[in-house]
Amino acid sequence: MIRYALVCDAGHEFEGWFGASSDFDDQAAAGHLTCPMCDSGAVRKQIMAPAVAGTRVRGDVAPKARAMMMEAMGDIRRHVEENFDYVGDRFAAEARSIHEGASEVRGIFGEATAAEVKALATDGISVSALPPPAPKKTEVN
């Protein structure tokens, strides 16, 4: 996983985790990256100092904390996939239908464009991004 410091055109700073360095470019080009504070789609990488190997003290908790975080994110994703209804690219329409009382109240997950997510939030419909799937062992350095 690669962590990038990101900033939107309004100056909000946040970070994003990506499976490979090309994933940021691919997601940005597809319009999948938005600022979590203002939903701006104008997101860019900030200048970052690289992490230098060998600077950590032996027994540092950071690797343990990272492993615990990755496990928790995997647990959340598994819970959603096992207990919620997958609605595919109909997510925004189905979320709106549940909110308006036209569909039964239940947990759902699926895909939505940044514009659809912004429209849902503007209308007071709460949605959250699902943690990404864990990288395959063959994709990890």
Same domain, 18 and 43: yes
The residue ranges of the chain whose pLDDT is under 70 are 49-61, 137-141
- Domain housing 93: 59-131
With 0.95 as the threshold, say if the pTM is over it: no
Q: Are residues 73 and 125 in the same domain?
A: yes
pLDDT value of residue 135 = 73
Q: Are residues 65 and 111 in the same domain?
A: yes
Residues 72 and 90 in one domain: yes
Q: Which long-range contacts (CB under 8 A, 24 or more apart) does 32-38 make?
A: 32/114, 33/6, 33/114, 34/8, 34/114, 34/117, 34/118, 35/8, 35/10, 36/12, 37/8, 37/10, 37/12, 38/8, 38/10, 38/12
Examine the domain organization and report whether 28 and 46 are in the same domain: yes
**For residue 7, what are the contacts with CB-CB under 8 A and spacing of at least 6?**
13, 14, 43, 44, 46
Asked whether residue 69 falls in the same domain as residue 127, the answer is: yes
